[in-house]
Amino acid sequence: MWGGYKKFDPVKDIPDLSGKVILITGGRWPKSNTTNNHNPTHIYLAARTQSKAEQAIADIKKDVPDARITYLPLDLTSFASIKKAADLFLAQSSRLDLLINNAGIMATPPGKTAEGYEIQFGTNHMGHALLTKLLLPTLLETTKHPGADVRVISITSIAHNFTLFTMTYDQDELNSRHPVSRYALSKLANVQYARELAVCYPQITSVSVHPGVISTDVFDNFQNLDFLHRIVVPFMKSWVWANVQDGAKTQLWATTVSKDKLQNGAYYEPIGVKTLGSVFARDSKASKKLWDWTQEELISKGY
């Protein structure tokens, strides 16, 4: 799956990251993530499960004992938790160079977040939208530093193409859809929101990235789906899918490649291949509609 894509060697190709402050959501950050070996000032790992995050930090410190990595408790299904995580970060840092919206869930049973959003849309899109908004003043302030290169990397999925006919922001209607359809819409929202963030704040480089089909526990819920998915997924997982280490290369590329290699607002597939995405993904009016709807929702919740 990976042989035809651009070659990227994190060890050789990642530049020195001295002075950079990085915030990553999600606990599945690989042990061999070589950003840690390129001298970032501080990495914040924001995740729901403390034990997984602390194990990831411990594994990294085995290879890079001096790495400055801090765990931030973060539950993307709760706006209160997101606000608390943002406040905790802002109390410790006045700078943020790289925000990597990496966390996500997939193919979950019907459910809603604390604020009433369909669980996948609420976690994958609304949670990250609020976190980004709360950190936006610091991101913008960081752009004023000499030589600043501020980026927001939104991890999406090629599955956004599965939103074929209709988009909906009606959370009750969305909650009645098939789990994969709900996931697809949440990932489409990641692409659209990243695009519109670049339009509204061009001083920040905002791109969305499909990391490849990676074998992680995010796919565990497929075992609860229909017969076809239960048969296909284990086969794909053993034959086609990339491991976490290889899959992370796409995020690392987007995070560290020279700024002139990125088109602001674009969508990328492994590794570093700019593509158009789905019809909805490249529809500027649809992206603006999502952006406006999201801002109205956040304001209505007091953010």
Confirm if 46 and 97 have CB atoms less than 8 A apart. no
- The catalytic position among 187, 193, 249, 267 is 187
Provide the 8-state DSSP code for 257. Answer: S
Which residues are within 8 A (CB) of 65 and not within 5 positions of it... i.e. 6 or more apart?
A: none
User: Of 98, 90, 82, 32, which Cα lies nearest the Cα of 298?
Assistant: 82
Told to judge if 187 belongs to the known catalytic residues of this protein, a careful annotator would answer yes
Question: 205 to each of 61, 188, 267, how far by Cα in Å?
Answer: 29, 19, 12
Residue 254's H or E segment, with its range, is helix 244-256
Q: Rounded to an integer, what distance in angstroms lies between the CA atom of residue 278 and that of residue 282?
A: 6
Told to judge if 183 belongs to the known catalytic residues of this protein, a careful annotator would answer yes
- Residue 99 forms beta bridges with which residues? 23, 152
Q: Rounded to an integer, what distance in angstroms lies between the CA atom of residue 253 and that of residue 256?
A: 5
- The catalytic position among 20, 44, 117, 183 is 183
**Is 258 buried (19+), middle (13-18) or exposed (0-12) by CB count in 10 A?**
exposed
Half-sphere exposure of 211 (CA within 13 A, CB side): 26
Catalytic sites, residue numbers: 183, 187
